Amino acid sequence: MKFIIYFGHHKVGSTALQSYLARNALALLQQGILYPAVESEGMSHLLAQALGRKSKPALDCMNLREPHNALGFRMLASKKPGGKTPPWHGILPGLPAMLLTLRHQVEILQPETVVLCSEVFANFGADHADLIATLRALFPDAEQELYCALRRPDEYMASWYGQLLRFGRKLDPLSEGSAIKPKSIHFNYRKMVEPWVQSFDGARLHLRNYADILKAGGSVQDFITQVSAPFPNRLPEQGPVNKGLPRASYEIIRRANHDLPDKDAQDLREVFLQLPPHKIPVKNGDVELFGAQRRAQLTEEFAPIHAYLSQLTNQPAFFPDIDEMNRTRPLSDQEAARRLLASLDPAGMESSVLSDYISKLQQTL
C-alpha cells in the first residue's frame, strides 16, 4: 500500500485539492485510492452518497471536504491541556478515536493508496516532530510519499497576511515585521520541511515551487501528476477555493479590524472579497507591503533557508526568481489603499457605519 501525505503549505491551493479529493472520494475509492474520513459527520456524508441519498457531495461540510485539517487541529490540540479545535469543524472526537477511524477504513476497504491532505500539517514542523512521528507510525510498512508546495516567501507572506486580516486579526503593518515572525514556519521553510524529511527518512519527497504548480495547471493537476498513485482521468475538479482580499485593501482592512466592531469589520471585509476584479484599480503585484529596508532584511535572512531547499531538491535555485524578493513594488500599501478608496462610493455601502468609515478614510488616509 502507498501512503501519501500532502503537508502544506498554506496559500498554495490546498482547498482546491481537498475539494477535488472530497468531490471524487467514491470514484477514487473504486480505483483503490482512499481519501479517508476521520469522524462520523464526514463518514455519514460519504455513506449518503454511496447509497444515493445525496446526488452530489456537500462540499460546504468542512469535515467532508477537509477531514485531515480536522485531524491536524485535533493533533495540535492534544499537545495542550484543554486544547481546542476551530469551531468550523464542530465537536470532534478525541485523537485516539480519529486515528482508529482512519485505521479501520484501511483495514476494511483495503485500498492500494491512502491520501492524507492538510495544510494544517505544516504546523507540525514547529516543534511537533512527535505528531509527524504519529502519522509515520500509522502505516509503517506502507510505501510512503510526501508532497509539499512552497511559495516564494515574500509572496507567501503577503498572501498569509491577507488571510489573517480576513479572519479579523488586529495586526501591525507587514512592513514593521511583527505580524509574521521570521522564525515561524511562515518564513522559515526549513523549520517546516526538515522534521518531515527526517521522520519520513527514505520516503519519496515532492517539494514543489508554487510557480511550477501554476504552470502545470494548478494544485490538483500538479498533485495527481507528481505522486505515484494512478488517479483516473477526467474527474471533476471544480470546487470551492479560498477567496483572497485584494492587496490594495489590506491597509483599509487592517485599520478597520482595529477601529470597527467585529461585525462591521467583517461586513467591510466582505465588501472587498466580493469586489469584481475590474473594479480594483491596483494590481496585487504592484502593491508594496514590506518596504525596501524590510525586503532587504528578509532576503538576507532567507538566503540560508533557500540554500537548504535548493540542496534538498538538487537544484541550482529552488526559487529561480528569488531576486524578485528584493525588488520594491511601485505603489506603497497606503497609496494603493488611497486609489482603491477613491474608486468607492460611500453611499453604496451596506450600512451607515461603513459609509461613514469609508468617507473618513477617504479624507484622512
Q: Which amino acid is at 179?
A: A
**Do 213 and 130 lie in a common domain?**
yes
Residue 163 lies in a domain: no
- DSSP letters for 214-275: HHTTSHHHHHHHHSSS-PPTT------------GGGHHHHHHHHHHS-HHHHHHHHHHHHT-
> What average pLDDT does the structure give for the chain?
96
For residue 8, what pLDDT band results from cuts at 50, 70 and 90? Answer: very high
Give the E-state strand segments of 25-99 in sequence order: 33-34
Residue 351 lies in a domain: yes
| Number of other residues whose CB lies within 10 A of the CB of residue 228 | 11
**Do 219 and 252 lie in a common domain?**
no
Residue 122 lies in a domain: yes
- CA–CA dist 305, 134 (Å, integer): 26
**Do 285 and 326 lie in a common domain?**
yes
Give the E-state strand segments of the chain in sequence order: 2-6, 33-34, 113-117, 143-150, 204-209, 287-288, 331-332
How large is the average pLDDT for residues 157-163? 96
Residue 76 lies in a domain: yes
- CA–CA dist 186, 227 (Å, integer): 25
- Among candidates 127, 153, 109, which has minimal Cα distance to 298? 153
- CA–CA dist 150, 171 (Å, integer): 24
- CA–CA dist 327, 150 (Å, integer): 20
Query: What's the domain range around 297?
Result: 247-364
Residue 311 lies in a domain: yes
- CA–CA dist 344, 340 (Å, integer): 7
- Say which residues have a Cβ less than 8 Å from residue 18's Cβ, sequence separation at least 6: 65, 66, 68, 69, 117, 118
- Which tens digits make up the pLDDT trace of 332-364? 999 999 999 999 999 999 999 999 999 999 999
**Do 199 and 76 lie in a common domain?**
yes
Q: At what angle do helices 14-23 and 67-77 cross, to 10 degrees?
A: 120
**Do 287 and 201 lie in a common domain?**
no
- CA–CA dist 143, 145 (Å, integer): 7
**Do 114 and 217 lie in a common domain?**
yes
- CA–CA dist 69, 345 (Å, integer): 39
Residue 25 lies in a domain: yes
DSSP state of 173: -
Strand partners, 78: none
**Do 220 and 266 lie in a common domain?**
no
- CA–CA dist 262, 274 (Å, integer): 18
Cα dihedral 284, 119, 206, 320 in deg (nearest 10): 20
**Do 104 and 10 lie in a common domain?**
yes
Strand order in the sheet with 33-34: 33-34, 113-117, 2-6, 143-150, 204-209
Give the E-state strand segments of 270-333 in sequence order: 287-288, 331-332
- Which tens digits make up the pLDDT trace of 76-123? 999 999 999 999 999 999 999 999 999 999 999 999 999 999 999 999
How large is the average pLDDT for residues 49-68? 94
Residue 164 lies in a domain: no
- Which tens digits make up the pLDDT trace of 249-287? 999 999 999 999 999 999 999 999 999 999 999 999 999
Residue 180 lies in a domain: no
Per-residue pLDDT at 191: 98
- Among candidates 168, 181, 176, 177, which has minimal Cα distance to 245? 168
**Do 271 and 352 lie in a common domain?**
yes
Q: What is the CATH number of the domain that holds 120?
A: 3.40.50
For residue 236, what pLDDT band results from cuts at 50, 70 and 90? Answer: confident
Pair 70, 138: CB distance under 8 Å: no
Q: How many domains does the chain have?
A: 2
Residue 239 reports pLDDT greater than 70: no
Per-residue pLDDT at 178: 81
- Percent of the chain scoring above 70 in pLDDT: 99
**Do 221 and 306 lie in a common domain?**
no
- CA–CA dist 199, 357 (Å, integer): 51
Per-residue pLDDT at 181: 87
Residue whose grid cell is 477617504? 362
Residue 241 reports pLDDT greater than 90: no
**Do 19 and 81 lie in a common domain?**
yes
**Do 198 and 304 lie in a common domain?**
no
